Structure 1
Amino acid sequence: MTTVKIPYAKTYMEAHIPDNKLQGILLSKAHSYKATGSEEELVQQALENPIDSPRLSDLAKGKKNIVIITSDHTRPVPSHIISPLIVKEIRKSNPNGKITFLIATGFHRLTTKEELACKFGEKFMNEINIVIHDCRDESSLIKIGTLPSGGETIINRLAAEADLLVAEGFIEPHFFAGYSGGRKSVLPGVASQVTVLANHCSEFIHNKKARAGILEGNPLHVDMLAAAQQAHLAFIVNVVIDDKKKIIKAYAGNSVKAHETGCKFVEELAAVPAKPADIAITSNGGYPLDQNLYQSVKGMSAAEATVRDGGVIIICTACNDGHGGDAFYKWFAEAPGGPQEVMDKIMQIPANATIADQWEAQILARIQLHAHVIVVTDQCDHKLIKEMHMQATDTLNEALTLAENIVGKDATITVVPDGVSVIVKS
């Protein structure tokens, strides 16, 4: 019998798998990687040795309006470590320039004051100027160009009019953009809903290269790169974190080259071969990534890559914030025909008519058409989950029993403890 810990909220669940059923445990090497210094030291070293760029302190000289884009409450970016060091670097050469932190909410709900305090630390939060991006507030947005796909590049006016635009974030596999970090701070981070919708169209999401670990030829990535370049994103500080959300590596410098370098490192750690099985158990990495079903589709997509057709995906995810998007929820709740009905409707929508959250619904429908999905949570209404054509249990043991009733008592099992941290390659 093998016992595997599955991240869940701020704790974990345990899976007890008979050895004769266990096909494999797919883990990112990031979880065992030994960093060469403290978290602060790693970020400071990156700032002192930028990739393909002058130091940030040099770029900041004489600038009056500096904007730092940073991730929102759905991303475990350790801003309490990164942000003060960025500010310190800027202040070396620019003691008086205005610095604004712009929260990249993308298409998510707005971040709360409590979440900002958790992100930055209350003391630092009270010392800085913070603006929360709202993709639907047209008065705060401005068009700066056109995307390669033909959509308009409309972003937050603060970012567009900055003398110096900087972004902090983290790099991990992303289920349709290839990797997080870098250019994603601009699109979707501080982009208009119009721009996000154009980029997240059904044609792009359907593309075989819109998968975790793929940048070259990924149509979403191409648009995102263009948006960052049009916004003049001058400098990034991106980190790589382990399963404890601790920084193990940091990259700073040119928004393209530094990000590419970080992505190569993440691929070395995160790429794992698929271990086909009847049942795949996974998670969304625990808090803060497992706060809702919307985000949890990411973890499901890792299991999708290793579970057999017609098998069962079990995802342990708290979803204390519910579905995470009313439009996302309604795609399924208002589709009596289930995932096939959802998929058929979405694939008929042209790029210039993309509907809010259809991309997440499209991927979830794709996953459901491939395998049954069981959500393990004691913090979310099971009725809501069932209305989205998935099953739900309070415990992992209950889920395993339910899964075996679907695929048989002799079902094989693969475990992907942290679904958002790996690139499963078939």
Structure 2
Amino acid sequence: MNSTFSLPYGNAFLEINLVGENVIEQFFPADLKSNSDVSTMIEIAIRISSNYMVFGSITNETTIAITINDKTRPVPNNLLFPPLLKYLLERGIKKENITILIATGTHIPMPPEEFQLLLNTEVLSEFKVISHNCDDDTKLIYKGKTSRGTPVFVNSLYDQADLKIVVGDIEPHHFAGFSGGYKSASIGVCGRETINHNHALLQDPKSCVGLYEDNPLRQDIEEIGELIGVNLALNAILNERKEILHVFFGHPKDVILAGIKVIRETELTLIDEPYDLVVASAGGYPKDINLYQAQKALTHASLFCRDGGTVLLAAECIEGVGSQSYIDFMQGVSSHTDAQAKMVQSGFRVGPHKALQFALIANRINFKIKTEINDSLMKELQLLKVENLQETINQTIRSYTSPPRIAVVPYATATIPQLRGGI
């Protein structure tokens, strides 16, 4: 048997060959087709909610703040924004009263010259667009604490708006359960202290992909959003071609629950048993824009893998690691066990938390990464780098005494396995 497979790698593909008597199965995200008339779909979703009570209090003096995800998220803003802005302007909102905030979370704030990666020239020329900075305390305001003790500091421009809207996508998230709903505001435009405290909850086993109702980290996100006072969410579900499948508009909790229902019904991948070897890709750019983002794909790929098995992940990481604080944290660390101990000693922080996530995966399986990050930096991070993916695959297969069961997962960030008969 000789089979060839293509793995997305940045904006290109890597070809691999699997030869022998191995059991080989390839898994893709569900091949869901987009509605050909996406603009109408979006406009209908927005106008169906036109009687939503918040619109009753809108005047031409109403101020509006809208969050938008940064360049690490493949949200089709140029499709979602025009119908939303058109509707708001029809309601009498002045252009100068609409502010668009780029929800960077703890990511590096985007410079103005990169805004065109997110929005078209017309929107950029007519509306105020600002990138959030989680470390600028002068632009944050305190809103209280959640029941789990998370102190909520939110961007003051967002807080001051009469109507607060979030725009983004809904997809499985490796520890928040699902992205979407309140998350673009609760994480995207809050302060580092808020995000650190919330993300510390990822150490709870229930803070995992696909879980919403009992996920403590996700429920903390919901409480943060309520304290901030987010009014509306415009969220889309995309297929792996980044085409819009579904659009939801309304109260953030209603939107996320509607999106989760659709994803659970259509997007989970059933498997009979875990695999010995998993060859995976994050899914190409921007899913593998940096290691910080690509780690999410490793989480999903590891779910296909049996205890003690191996995952080989392809992730170009054209922008490197994506977190200087993670790199700094790993200075002097000699193993994943050391990283976990250091995290306990120093306290949880976003950025260094990637060390914990890699360590938790390394406790159960073996993994290596095909990437463009330089060798010395990968060694500092205690991560094994693949130079030649095909050779590494061949060597791994030869290490088994009997033909291994192999899973190929080209879009691991968007492919979530579930054992057949499991919950």
C-alpha offsets along residues 183-234 of structure 1, whole Å, 9 cap, x if unaligned? Answer: 1112211110010111111xx2222211111011111111100111111111
Q: TM-score, normalised by structure 1?
A: 0.91
Q: What fraction of aligned residue pairs are identical, expressed as a percent?
A: 26
Deviations 1:136-191 (A, max 9, x none): 00000000111121121111001111100001000111000000111111221111
Partner of 2:26: 25
Structure 1 residue 389 displacement after superposition = 1.9
**Aligned residue runs from structure 1 range 6-45, under 5 A:** 6-18=7-19, 20-29=21-30, 32-45=31-44
Distance 2:5 2:53 in 1: 43
Of 354, 357, 369, the match for 2:351: 357
1:119 CA drift (Å): 1.4
For 1:55 and 1:89, the matched residues in 2 are separated by 15
Equivalent in 405, 408, 414 of residue 415 of structure 1: 408
Secondary structure of 2:269's match? strand
Contact residue 60 and residue 94 of structure 2 kept, 8 A: no
276-285 vs 387-396, which deviates more? 387-396
Cα distance change of structure 1 residues 313 and 131 upon mapping to structure 2, 3 Å threshold: same
Q: Which amino acid in structure 2 is aligned with residue 111 of structure 1?
A: M
Aligned residue number for residue 180 of structure 1: 179
1:259–1:216 CA distance, 2 compared to 1 (3 A): same
* Residue aligning to 1:403: 396
| Equivalent of 1:335 in 333, 336, 361 | 333
> In the alignment, which residue of structure 2 is the partner of 1:316?
314
Write the letter of the residue equivalent to 2:104: T
The alignment of Structure 1 onto Structure 2 pairs a total of residues equal to 416
Counterpart for residue 107 of structure 1? 106
Residue 385 (structure 1) aligns with: 378
Identify the residue that residue 191 of structure 1 maps to in structure 2: 190
1:242-268 deviation line (CA, Å, top 9, x unaligned): 112121211111110111101111222
Counterpart CA distance in 1 for 2:176 and 2:19 is 36
- 2:341 and 2:27 mapped to 1: Cα distance? 32
Instruction: For 1:113-132, list aligned pairs within 5 A.
Output: 113-132=112-131
Code of the residue aligned with 1:315 in structure 2: it is L
Structure 1: gaps (5+ residues): none
The CA distance in 2 between the partners of 1:174 and 1:63, in whole Å, is 37
**Cα gap change, 1:395 to 1:144, in 2 (>3 Å):** same
- C-alpha separation in 1, matches of 2:338 and 2:151: 30
Question: Structure 2 residue aligned with 1:371, among 365, 375, 388?
Answer: 365
Distance 1:262 1:36 in 2: 16
Conservation of the 8 A alpha-carbon contact between 2:182 and 2:222: yes
- Aligned-CA RMSD value: 2.2
Aligned-pair CA distance for 1:394:
4.2
* TM score, norm. by length of structure 2: 0.92
Secondary structure of 2:356's match?
helix
Q: 1:408 to 1:342 in 2, by over 3 A?
A: farther
Residue 396 of structure 1: CA displacement?
2.9
Q: Give the deviation of 1:63 after TM superposition.
A: 4.7
Contact 1:238 1:250 in 2 (8 A): yes
Deviation at 1:335, TM superposition (A): 1.0
Give deviations 1:42-94, integer Å, cap 9, x for gaps.
2212112239x718865644452100011011101111111122111100112
CA distance in 1, matches of 2:254, 2:248: 10
Q: Secondary structure at the match of 1:335?
A: coil
Whether the 8 Å contact between 2:66 and 2:99 is mirrored in structure 1 is: yes
Contact 2:7 2:15 in 1 (8 A): yes
State the AA in 2 paired with 1:73: K
